[in-house]
Structure 1
Amino acid sequence: MSSKSLQARYEAAFMPNYGVPPTVLVSGEGCVVRDADGESYLDLIGGIAVTSLGHGHRGLTAAIAEQAGSIAHTSNLFVNEPEIELAEELLSLLGGDARVFLSNSGTEANECALKMAIKFGKQHGRTYFVAAENGFHGRSMGALSLTGKAAIREPFGPFAADVRFVPFGDAEALRAAVGPECAAVFLEPTQGEGGVVPAPEGYFKAVREICTDAGALLVLDEIQSAIGRSGAWFAHQLEDIRPDILTLAKGLGGGLPIGACVGFGSAATIFAKGDHGSTFGGNPVSAAAALCVLKTIASDGLLGHARTLGEQWAAELAAVGHPLLLGVRGRGLWIGLVLDGAHAGAVQEAAKAAGFLVNAVQPDVVRLAPPLIITAEQARSFTAALPGILDSASPQE
């Protein structure tokens, strides 16, 4: 069926919270996807930093099919081997004394982290939390209470949690906010939905020190930044710090829904039996997919590829001389194109017309988060097309 007919059916069947997406995707191979009208695009969104190995990856599809043909679901009433193997693999990559909880999404991982922080706070007489302005942690009520974007947060308040927001990257503002009654600080190593905004150098070492001195938990939301996206397994490893709680999702499953919350040290045993749970968390098919993603990233050298190509691509994009492009920021294969004004929507449309899918993550920022397997040639094809895309998106005099 055509895109137009499928979009009409979509609009009639679904709630209007997404509107009607402008593109109907039906298939993909590697970094290329095709729509219902037969048009092909270079996918530079990657399902919002999810499709780590691209589309139709043979190893990933085989792992999914094999596990689905064996046992597809067990619930948390029973143990399945893939979930154990996945937890063990994550712990081996993280190092140190830690424990894992598996969920179905990043929002659920953050809900788990918040419950851990609440229990910790009750145990130690701590009553409030600190998070960053413009941060994003999810849309369920607990995660939303930590999200510092007023436009999506305020319509659904008030919230049960007392959360105080400080400017991202301002260590002194954080120090002033984190007192003896603060239970936990929730931060992203790089603000993804905020526009791919990295923290200033040295910020997270200061954050770790502030939390340690105050006795508050440091919770790092690596829903977007982990599993190679930033050029390391976990972005906090690039900062040479360790959180008390870590949340993961997106790229972990390579396209299947999965999330994880990891507690370190004493935080690993905050929960007691019955404190938390998930019917689908630890699903063996999703766990098998995640294991395949981790093993393939390691065997194919995709961490180094993300670092090297990401640096090269960012430099080449920054060298594009165009009045609409103010700068380029990010880390690894996670890049924000900063524009001179609220033109991101127009750039997204012009890029699609030129055969590229990008994401207008903020009015003045376009996000690139392609599969980690993207080639240098594919990256350069976008760079070469960018001046024309920006010309098409430029306001007409």
Structure 2
Amino acid sequence: MSYLFPTYQRWEVEPASASGSRITGTDGKEYLDFTSGIGVCNLGHRPKQVEEAVAKQLDSFWHVSNLFPQHVQEQAAQLLGTAAGLDCVFFANSGAEANEAALKLARKATGRSKVISFIKSFHGRTFATMAATGQDKIKTGFGPMLETFIHLPFNDTKALMDEIDKDTAAVILEIIQGEGGINVASEVFLKTVEEACKQNGALLIIDEIQTGIGRTGKPFAFHHFGINPDIITVAKGLGSGLPIGAVVAKSGLREVFGPGSHGSTFGGNPISTAAAVATMETIFQPSFLKEVSARGEYLIEQAETALSGFEDVKEIRGLGLMAGIEVAGSAMPILAEVRSQGLLVLPAGENVIRLLPPLNITREEINEAIQLLAQTMKNFAAATI
């Protein structure tokens, strides 16, 4: 019997070690990892530069509390703010905490409580972030949600314009809905949201938890669309596997989060922020991001070439190294079968196979993954004849 709550449907693979884009199980079998810890290990497992930064910080101090100024926090905040084109950073421990803080910041700054989010979105599992999430399955059994959260169809400009008003504190959205099926926002929709927020005095919050830190070939996914959010949230890829999240906001919001307004005992932990500094110093290099874009294009091209001929494959979509393969039925049997063949991939909703390889994945490894997927799809097609 396990002493753990059964909150996760765990796979049959137990890792013994991991390095780069590979995980070795306790049974000695090696797996090509196209999950990256659900978009966390953007530099693969145990990247040397991050490991060295963490080891150096471990030799200095592990925790002193946020009563003390810490140079490594300032370093991480400057890198984040500069890359995002924003000015103020609050460090948390996770994406849900970052979104919770962003929602508090928006409500306090505007004096309003209404928040607009979108169907199929995912923003976390705290009460505020559950309420913001546009998926009923996340909320089942937990009683009434927090009020004044409105969920609209994604990419629907008319629905947005009909709903946003002077009572709206914020609009929160993902540039790519990750858990909701790899649904990419249109530029027209994003520009409409930005302008509508300005006209109504609402704040635009971009949830970059899964899309940020280079995942799409830009530092943040909103950079592809020429918009200027008031607040972004990041986590996952920020610490290369160390727990960290952050809110990054415009300078006009600095005084809203004054002393005593918000806090986190472990937020900005020096070990995690040291990992974040090393991660960002690597990923935010223009040459690195250019190669991420090239690898992302290659991944989509190879997937389309190998998989588009299958009747069960409905669409292949994504941006950078965040891709989704929509299939006709449930994706779960395909995921289980391809895992048995040595490839780890994720679902995104019920019928989308989600690919989140490390950002430094090789083209040979992309070919290997796509070939395994294609063979699995071929086997499934043959079984239905």
TM-score normalised to structure 1 length: 0.93
Matched, 1:288 2:277: no
Matches within 5 A, 1:1-397: 11-96=1-86, 98-122=87-111, 126-299=112-285, 301-320=287-306, 321-342=309-330, 344-394=331-381, 396-397=384-385
- Letter of the aligned partner of 1:81 in structure 2? H
Query: In structure 2, how many angstroms separate the alpha carbons of the residues matched to 1:313 and 1:276?
Result: 42
- Distance in 1 separating the partners of 2:62 and 2:42: 22
Secondary structure of 2:302's match?
helix
CA contact (8 A) 1:142 1:161 kept: no
Q: Is 269-278 or 106-115 further displaced after alignment?
A: 269-278
Q: Is the 8 A contact 2:343 2:372 kept in 1?
A: no
The answer on whether the counterparts of 2:169 and 2:202 sit within 8 Å (CA) in structure 1 is: yes
* Structure 1 gaps, min length 5: 1-10
Report the alpha carbon displacement of residue 90 of structure 1 after superposing the two structures with TM: 1.1
Superimposed CA distance per residue, residues 188-226 of structure 1 (whole angstroms, 9 cap, x where no aligned partner): 111010011101232111110011111111111000001
1:299 to partner: Cα distance: 4.7
**Offset at 1:156?**
1.7
Name the CA distance, whole Å, in 1 between partners of 2:228 and 2:254.
13
Say if 1:120 and 1:157 are closer, same or farther in 2 by CA, change over 3 A.
Answer: farther
Supply the AA of the counterpart residue of 1:62.
E
- CA positional deviation for 1:300: 8.3
Distance 1:363 1:68 in 2: 41
CA–CA distance in structure 1, aligned partners of residues 122 and 145 of structure 2: 16
Counterpart amino acid of residue 197 in structure 1: N
- Per the TM alignment, residue 366 of structure 1 is displaced from its structure 2 partner at its CA by 0.6
| Secondary structure at the counterpart of residue 156 of structure 1 | coil
Structure 1 residue identity aligned to 2:324: G
Tell me if the contact between 1:221 and 1:246 (Cα under 8 Å) persists in the aligned partners. Answer: yes
> CA separation in 2, counterparts of 1:193 and 1:341?
17
Superposed CA RMSD in Å reads 1.4
User: How much does 1:387 deviate?
Assistant: 2.0
Distance 1:158 1:120 in 2: 25
Corresponding letter in the other structure for 2:206: L
Residue pair 2:236, 2:245 contacting (<8 A) in 1 also: yes
Cα distance in 2 between the residues matched to 1:356 and 1:332: 20
The alpha-carbon deviation at position 19 of structure 1 amounts to 3.5
One-letter amino acid of the counterpart of residue 378, structure 1: E
Task: Give the conservation status (yes or no) of the 8 Å contact 1:245–1:267.
Answer: no
CA contact (8 A) 2:83 2:284 kept: no
- The alpha carbon displacement at 1:303 in A equals 1.0
CA offsets 1:114-158 (integer angstroms, 9 cap, x no match)? 111221242xxx331110011000001111110010111242231
Contact 1:350–1:392 (CA under 8 A) maintained in structure 2: no
Distance 2:7 2:277 in 1: 33
Report percent identity of matched pairs: 38
Q: CA deviation at 1:348?
A: 0.6
Deviation at 1:333, TM superposition (A): 0.3
| Structure 2 Cα separation of the partners of residues 19 and 323 of structure 1 | 29
Distance 2:198 2:286 in 1: 37
